[in-house]
Amino acid sequence: MTQLNTPYPATAYLTGFLRQHSDRLGLELAQADLAIELFLRVFSNGGLTRVHAELQARLAEVRDLRDIPVAITQFVGEGDRYIETIDPVVRFLQGRDPNLAHRIVANDFLPQGRRFAAIENGPGAEDDDPLGWAFGGLGLADRAKHLASLYIDDIADAIREGIAPDFELARYGERLAASAPTFDPLREALEGEATIIDEMLDDLSRELVAKHRPDFVGITAPFPGNVYGAFRIARAIKAARPKTRIALGGGYVNTELRELSDPRVFDYVDYITLDDGEAPMLALVEHLANKKKPLLRTFVRKADSVELVTTDAIHDVPIAAAGTPTYAGLPLDRYLSLFEMLNPMHRLWSDGRWNKLTIAHGCYWKQCTFCDVSLDYIARYERAPADLLVDRIEALIAETGQTGFHFVDEAAPPAALRALAETLIARGVTITWWGNVRFEKAFTPELCELLARSGCVAISGGLEVASDRLLALMKKGVTVEQVARVTRAFTDAGVMVHAYLMYGFPTQTVQDTVDALERVRQLFAEGCVQSAFWHRFAATVHSPIGLQPKLFGIKLAKKKHAFARNEVAFTDPTGTDHDALADGLRRAVYNYMHGLGLEEDPRSWFGKPRGTKIPKVTVAPDLIRRALDASD
């Protein structure tokens, strides 16, 4: 499970690349997305009938219903209504039955669980129409989409709390894989009693194998929340068709499994490839046809150990030779547009179908001390020529009929964005796009306007700790005042801005955090950013901080590992209790995104955390205003 609104691009990239070699090698290629298929099977009349029966049976064994989470009792109590409405609601969210919006907003069509309480407690709580502030009188389709999304969330809550504790719409079994030092918990879950969600995934995997009868399957696991599913799929394929060879790759593997030494992993997969998948996959395909051909960056089992096999004779594929991604074979009309958070930037992540492309490989800056700069996906920088990108954009529009693009770069280079925008405009190609950047001074008001004219509607970037001292320590290469000017230039050009924020950085004090929140408040108040999210800092072993913790005044915990290794626990002598501040930070930004609480003292969001004294803000109240005036 990754995203419900659009396919993850890895299979599209690899299929597009391998297609170029299919004639020469006699390949028949097919791709599938079992994440969307699993969602559609669970969230269907038949799927919810099974979920309901299972939950009902569990409730029958319970003496005191007060011990049962309300998500379960509410779902079971209104089970018939959920089962009756699920197929029409899914069709509506797939965009295939827009007129259902009238019934959904009529308020008696959907059963309403605890997620709907957010409406009653939201910014319009005092009004006769509590969603009127967000949708007015005319926003029928959006209002219905929001209500239908809450309904889907209620069902997911009931499944998680009553059937599969690790089930979420965007991840499954994440806890089992994220920086898991041993394979034991995953193996136990794979070989233990299957939940009905597992059974449905097993069924889907078997059906897929029966349909394609593959000789070779590549599975991508971009995030920890995909790993349990990936192994489960591999297990079902092996059981149904033992001769099929299976390879595992993707972002999770590249960051977490580089020091893999547990051979039991190979009971499920035959090969594990590291870093970009194109060249290792092609090498594997050739190797399977002729065992004398070498493998590239591929883990294999050797007796009772694990060996990384590689060669200097094969190189990674340059962008120009990677081919055009293709979504052929994926059910593009069956993805769902969800709209849970009433924030225009957040909806880009979950609403609408986006073709995904990268403007460059790696990061042109590659200096941030918290980032995996030692790994290939950041360290190897290569830019795609603008004409080639626009050729690929046109090919994807022709194939999918969609003109929305999400550029999934870690940090898109300003010069490449300028070239892309000029080429799109010169060639008269109309698209809508968004992506991730560093808020650096190259984004002048003139460049922001050019990007907006080329179809840019939103930009995200890291403001991180919102403190110049800590930004320097993390080598972000920006200052808060510079971020203010750049984000304001984007906003003035009509481009929405989302800021990634971070807390808990080495040496960060409570004073740093309170002051950071004040700067963020001012950025919202001055209209520089419209959306933001606080992430807790994590030390990863591939970052400069993980590689040289002493330089940052922290000590990493030592732990033996035979499976995954990425995030490591550490001790910071500053001793700040960052957990005590987390809720206040999130609450503040959630309110700022709705235009609320912008006049209040930032300290008010923290309450009175035990053991932590919240100091007064030391930032000038007009810091951001003055920075903007200086640029005017």
Helices (H), 353-385: 376-379
285-288-290 Cα angle (round to 5): 110
> Which of 19, 175, 241, 366 is the binder for ligand SF4 (CB under 6 A)?
366
Query: Per CB under 6 A, does 470 bind ligand SF4?
Result: no
Helices (H), 213-337: 227-240, 251-256, 278-289
> Which of 187, 406, 438, 519 is the binder for ligand SF4 (CB under 6 A)?
438
> Which of 18, 131, 201, 411 is the binder for ligand SF4 (CB under 6 A)?
411
- No. of H helices and E strands in the chain? 27, 17
Range 67-96, binding ligand SF4 (CB under 6 A): none
Tokens of 202: 């097993």
The Cα–Cα gap between 582 and 589 comes to: 11
Half-sphere exposure of 620 (CA within 13 A, CB side): 8
Q: Which residues pair with 459 in a beta bridge?
A: 435, 497
Half-sphere exposure of 246 (CA within 13 A, CB side): 25
Stretch that binds ligand SF4, among 16-24, 110-118, 158-166, 371-379 (CB under 6 A): 371-379
For residue 438, the minimal CB distance to ligand SF4 (Å) is 5
- Cβ pair 577, 587 in contact under 8 A: no
Nearer to ligand SF4, 378 or 517 (CB): 378
For residue 295, the minimal CB distance to ligand SF4 (Å) is 29
Nearer to ligand SF4, 52 or 356 (CB): 356
Helices (H), 163-291: 174-177, 184-191, 196-212, 227-240, 251-256, 278-289
Tokens of 252: 């999770």
Stretch that binds ligand SF4, among 197-205, 214-222, 244-252, 365-373 (CB under 6 A): 365-373
245-249 β-sheet, strand order: 216-220, 245-249, 271-273, 298-302, 305-309
For residue 545, the minimal CB distance to ligand SF4 (Å) is 12
- Cβ pair 345, 458 in contact under 8 A: yes
Query: Per CB under 6 A, does 459 bind ligand SF4?
Result: no
- Cβ pair 534, 585 in contact under 8 A: yes
> Which of 22, 367, 571, 618 is the binder for ligand SF4 (CB under 6 A)?
367
Write the binding mask 575 to 594 for ligand SF4: x where contact by CB under 6 A, - elsewhere: --------------------
Query: Per CB under 6 A, does 537 bind ligand SF4?
Result: no
Q: How many residues bind ligand SF4 (CB under 6 A)?
A: 12
Query: Per CB under 6 A, does 417 bind ligand SF4?
Result: no
Query: Per CB under 6 A, does 490 bind ligand SF4?
Result: no
- What is the separation, in whole angstroms, between the first and last Cα of the chain? 46
Rg for the chain (alpha carbons), in Å? 25
Nearer to ligand SF4, 156 or 411 (CB): 411
Stretch that binds ligand SF4, among 145-153, 161-169, 359-367, 479-487 (CB under 6 A): 359-367
For residue 434, the minimal CB distance to ligand SF4 (Å) is 16
> Which of 208, 219, 363, 568 is the binder for ligand SF4 (CB under 6 A)?
363
The Cα–Cα gap between 372 and 164 comes to: 32
Nearer to ligand SF4, 109 or 490 (CB): 490
Q: How far is CA 278 from the centre of its chain?
A: 22
> Which of 134, 230, 378, 497 is the binder for ligand SF4 (CB under 6 A)?
378
Supply the angle between the helices 227-240 and 196-212 in degrees, to the nearest 10. 50
> Which of 348, 371, 447, 593 is the binder for ligand SF4 (CB under 6 A)?
371
Query: Per CB under 6 A, does 410 bind ligand SF4?
Result: yes
Nearer to ligand SF4, 392 or 438 (CB): 438
Nearer to ligand SF4, 351 or 410 (CB): 410
- Cβ pair 349, 6 in contact under 8 A: no
Give the other-Cβ count within 10 Å of 583's Cβ.
Answer: 13
Half-sphere exposure of 19 (CA within 13 A, CB side): 16
Stretch that binds ligand SF4, among 257-265, 311-319, 367-375, 483-491 (CB under 6 A): 367-375
Nearer to ligand SF4, 11 or 540 (CB): 540
Nearer to ligand SF4, 41 or 438 (CB): 438
> Which of 109, 252, 365, 537 is the binder for ligand SF4 (CB under 6 A)?
365
Nearer to ligand SF4, 115 or 438 (CB): 438
Nearer to ligand SF4, 365 or 503 (CB): 365
Site residues (vs ligand SF4, CB under 6 A): 363, 365-368, 371, 373, 378, 410-411, 438, 462
